[in-house]
Amino acid sequence: MKLKLHVWRQKGPNAPGKLETYEANHVSPDQSFLEMLDEVNEVLVKEGKDPIAFDHDCREGICGMCSQIINGMAHGGQDRTTVCQLHMRSFKDGDEIFIEPWKAKAFPIIKDLAVDRGNYDRIIQAGGYTSCHTGGVADGNALLIGKEIADYSMDAAECIGCGACAASCPNSSAMLFASNKVAQLAVLPQGQVEAKRRVVAMLDEATACGFGNCTNHYECQAACPKGINVKFIAKLNREYLKALLP
């Protein structure tokens, strides 16, 4: 099939950017979206033009590196799908596709579709861990954890840190991202010891990084390629409240 692409091009962090139009003329329905872009880039390179810069790595939906807004939707809007797992069979011949980078002040653009997500790392560095030392820990079965709790913790832990949640939120809020780490650890005995300190530190850091607050739009949940539920934001709020109480 043939497609017309409108792609955000921006030379560098401080350069002005604009949408440029390209044609993709030999698109197979079995191709992934990124493989389609690879082919567009091959043509650009042969013409001596600057290919489109975009982040990608594992191409199997788990590393969280790929990050594009396609027709206004993070990762293209297909349920539980990253850009790299989006396949061209969900488009049809003659479609026009708009491709933009993540849009959030806290994710500054590096080039074209590649952005800097260092602020997500900073939120984790603020407290997204248990402060256990390497070695000298208890046997894995010393503390029993019910299946329901282990499953709940795993549901939260599925986050791949791609940034789609904040990029889709009208407030650029990182609340879903922060909440899944808070929730994952808050329900486990190993994480409960530091639960209060953790939630406060992570939220303070998110604010300092320039992410907004949550006003219940739920765009994050809709955009999340791992289907992470906003119930974890409610959990975060409860944990935050508990932390504020004396």
Partner 1 sequence: MILDGKCPTGPIETSWDRHRFDTKLVNPANKRKYKVLVVGTGLAGGAAAAPLGELGYNVEAFCYQDSARRAHSIAAQGGINAAKAYPNDGDSIYRLFYDTIKGGDFRAREADVWRLSQVSNNIIDQCVAQGVPFARDYAGYLDNRSFGGAQVSRTFYARGQTGQQLLLGAYSALSRQVKAGTVKLFVRREMLDLVVVDGVARGITCRNLCTGEIETYWGDAVVLATGGYVNVFYLSTNAMGCSVTATWKAAKKGAYFANPCYTQIHPTCIPQTGEHQSKLTLMSESLRNDGRCWVPKKKEDCEKPAGQIAEEDRDYYLERKYPSFGNLAPRDIASRAAKEQCDDERGVGPGKRGVYLDFKDSINRLGQATIAERYGNLFEMYEKITDENGYKQPMRIYPAPHYSMGGLWVDYNCMSNVPGLFVLGEANFSVHGANRLGASALMQGLADGYFVIPYTVGGYLATVKPGQVKTDHAEFKKSVEDVNADIKKLLSINGKKTPSELHRELGKVMWNNVGMARSKESLTEALKLIPKIREEFWNNVKVTGVGEEFNQQLENAGRLADFLEFGELLAKDALNREESCGGHFRTEHQYDDGEAKRDDENFCYAAAWEFKGAGKEPELHKEPLKFDNVHLAVRSYK
Q: Distance from CA of residue 81 to its chain's centroid?
A: 11
Q: Pick from 163, 20, 30: which is nearest to 97 by CA?
A: 20
Footprint on residues 16-45 left by partner 1 (CB under 8 A): 28, 30-32, 34-35, 38-39, 42, 44-45
Q: Pick from 64, 18, 19, 41: which is nearest to 228 by CA?
A: 64
User: What CA–CA distance (Å, rounded) separates 57 from 67?
Assistant: 11
Question: Per-residue x/- mask for partner 1, residues 131 to 160, rule CB under 8 A?
Answer: xxxxx-xxxxx-xxxxx--xx-xx--xx-x
Query: Is there a contact between 117 and 111 (Cβ–Cβ < 8 Å)?
Result: no
Which of 4, 9, 17, 130 is close enough to bind partner 1 by CB under 8 A?
130
64 binds partner 1 (CB under 8 A): yes
Q: Which helix (H) or strand (E) holds 8?
A: strand 3-10
Footprint on residues 203-232 left by partner 1 (CB under 8 A): none
50 binds partner 1 (CB under 8 A): yes
**Cβ closest to partner 1, residue 23 vs residue 121:** 121
**Cβ closest to partner 1, residue 72 vs residue 118:** 118
**Shortest distance, position 127 Cβ to partner 1, whole Å:** 8
12 binds partner 1 (CB under 8 A): yes
Query: Is there a contact between 61 and 81 (Cβ–Cβ < 8 Å)?
Result: yes
Which of 68, 184, 209, 224 is close enough to bind partner 1 by CB under 8 A?
184
Query: Is there a contact between 105 and 172 (Cβ–Cβ < 8 Å)?
Result: yes
Considering CB under 8 A, how many residues would be counted as binding partner 1?
78
With contacts defined by CB under 8 A, name the span among 17-25, 56-64, 95-103, 231-239 that binds partner 1: 56-64
**Cβ closest to partner 1, residue 202 vs residue 233:** 202
User: What CA–CA distance (Å, rounded) separates 16 from 10?
Assistant: 6
**Shortest distance, position 215 Cβ to partner 1, whole Å:** 27
Return all residues near 225 (Cβ < 8 A) that are at least 6 apart.
61, 75, 80, 81, 82, 85, 160, 162, 164
Query: Is there a contact between 63 and 89 (Cβ–Cβ < 8 Å)?
Result: no
117 binds partner 1 (CB under 8 A): yes
**Cβ closest to partner 1, residue 39 vs residue 95:** 39
**Cβ closest to partner 1, residue 33 vs residue 100:** 33
Query: Is there a contact between 97 and 24 (Cβ–Cβ < 8 Å)?
Result: no
User: What CA–CA distance (Å, rounded) separates 165 from 3?
Assistant: 28
236 binds partner 1 (CB under 8 A): no
125 binds partner 1 (CB under 8 A): yes
Query: Is there a contact between 78 and 61 (Cβ–Cβ < 8 Å)?
Result: no
Which of 68, 81, 179, 229 is close enough to bind partner 1 by CB under 8 A?
81
